Structure 1
């Protein structure tokens, strides 16, 4: 389990992380979201002891990372896939990590096979593609068989097969009882992979809930309606419903569900050809929630 309590970090006048509190629980894949500049990478570095907090705590299994006797056995992390000597083979990179954490040599071959690099273990890491370096970084995270895993943008550089592979890997790790924290800008993959969401903006927590609850709470459900009498239907809808046209015979209605629209159509003798509830995506819900905490857009608007 990862527990963050009142975590705060300032760089000069910039408040990168502001009194942040959340928990990443075992048995779940937790998505970590926020606009660029929200403080995600700083938070991950604070959890892993790569930065010192000004106040607050971040613990893994009840201990700060610096107090872990064998760090790779407590938490596995991928923050930078390029953090490997280019002249060193994948096998010897992992072997050096294993030796420093009391991990048996046999585990190196196991994780290389697990991430699909079994045949590339004796190749120099400098010759690896970005996708292969990502796999090597994931192998390093898995090396100590830790109960907690942290991944920052693990999908970068992966081909479609690799993306599907990592999706299944994350789900398998959580099913084994591990706590998995994953940051990514690929919303569609997070929607397929994660159970829980932590969303931050300008260093502060703005959402901490299940994926399903997040989408329901931060988006209005849309209903697509097709009818040869859209004008009559539109006049029958209440004034507080939001309606937009999508073609001559199609309306998109927000603020009413399918049952309510169907009942109004029946009372007003309006023929319906389609009545479909549209599921709002994670990306749409995220954009709506973070509209006012996107640093770069705020800067552009301030300069106008």
Structure 2
């Protein structure tokens, strides 16, 4: 379990993390979301003791991580897949980690096999693709068989097969009772992977709740409508208080449910070719709830 309490980190006049409080529990995958500059990477570094907090506390199973010897046995982490010595082989890199953390050397071959790098074990890391480096970083996180795992953007550079594999890996690790904390900007992947979410913006907490609760709180269900008379139906729906968006002749309607839309279409003699209710997406909820917490926005969104 990871417990963050009133955690704050300032760099001069800049507050990167502002009184964050949340808990990451074992047995589930917790997604860590936020716009660019939200303080996600800083928070992960604070959890691992790589940076000291200005105030507040963060503990892993009741103790600061930096107080633990042989850290890989307690927490496995992937923060930057490129932060490895390119002249070493994959096997040599993992062996050095194993020796320094008193992890049995047999684990090196085991984790290389688990991440699909057995055939590349003797190759120098400098020749690895980004996806291969990500796999190596995940192998390093798994090396000590730790109960807590942290990953910062672990899907970067992975092909579709790799993404599917990582998704299954995280779910398996959580099912084993481990604490799995994953920072990512890919909303679609969090929808498929996470059970819980911690969402931050400009260093402050926005939400810490289940994925379903977050999506429901931030977004609205809509109804997709296809009709050969979109203008007539749009006018009727708008008159009833609905919000209607048209694209390519199809309508997306919020504010009225599918049954009411069908009744209005029948009343106005408008034929329907499609009437499908669509639940609010995580991305829509995220965009709505973080709109005023974006540090770096394009001119079109300001």
Query: What's the TM-score bracket when you normalise by the shorter of the two chains?
Result: over 0.9
For 2:125 and 2:246, the matched residues in 1 are separated by 54
Secondary structure of 1:297's aligned partner: coil
Residues 95-114 of structure 1 deviation map (CA, whole Å, 9 limit, x = unaligned): 11111212111111101111
Question: What RMSD over aligned residues (CA atoms) do the two structures have, in Å?
Answer: 2.0
Residue 211 (structure 1) aligns with: 211
Equivalent residue runs for 1:215-226 within 5 Å: 215-226=215-226
Structure 1, unpaired ranges of 5+: none
Residue 245 (structure 2) aligns with: 244
Residue 259 (structure 1) aligns with: 259
For 1:230 and 1:164, the matched residues in 2 are separated by 39
How far the C-alpha of 1:246 sits from its partner, in A, is 3.0
Residue 163 (structure 2) aligns with: 163
Secondary structure of 2:108's aligned partner: helix
Equivalent residue runs for 1:112-261 within 5 Å: 112-237=112-237, 239-248=240-249, 250-261=250-261
Secondary structure of 2:262's aligned partner: helix
For 2:246 and 2:108, the matched residues in 1 are separated by 58
Secondary structure of 2:296's aligned partner: helix
For 1:247 and 1:128, the matched residues in 2 are separated by 44
Q: Does 1:79 align with 2:79?
A: yes
Residues 190-241 of structure 1 deviation map (CA, whole Å, 9 limit, x = unaligned): 2111111111000000011211221111111111122345455445435432
User: In the alignment, is the contact (CA less than 8 A) between 2:220 and 2:279 conserved in 1?
Assistant: no
For 2:170 and 2:240, the matched residues in 1 are separated by 46
Aligned residues: 301
For 1:242 and 1:121, the matched residues in 2 are separated by 57
| TM-score calculated relative to the size of structure 2 | 0.93
User: In the alignment, is the contact (CA less than 8 A) between 2:29 and 2:196 conserved in 1?
Assistant: yes
How far the C-alpha of 1:70 sits from its partner, in A, is 2.3
| TM-score calculated relative to the size of structure 1 | 0.93
For 2:248 and 2:154, the matched residues in 1 are separated by 40
Secondary structure of 2:103's aligned partner: coil
User: In the alignment, is the contact (CA less than 8 A) between 2:219 and 2:280 conserved in 1?
Assistant: yes
Secondary structure of 2:53's aligned partner: coil
Residue 286 (structure 1) aligns with: 286
Structure 2, unpaired ranges of 5+: none
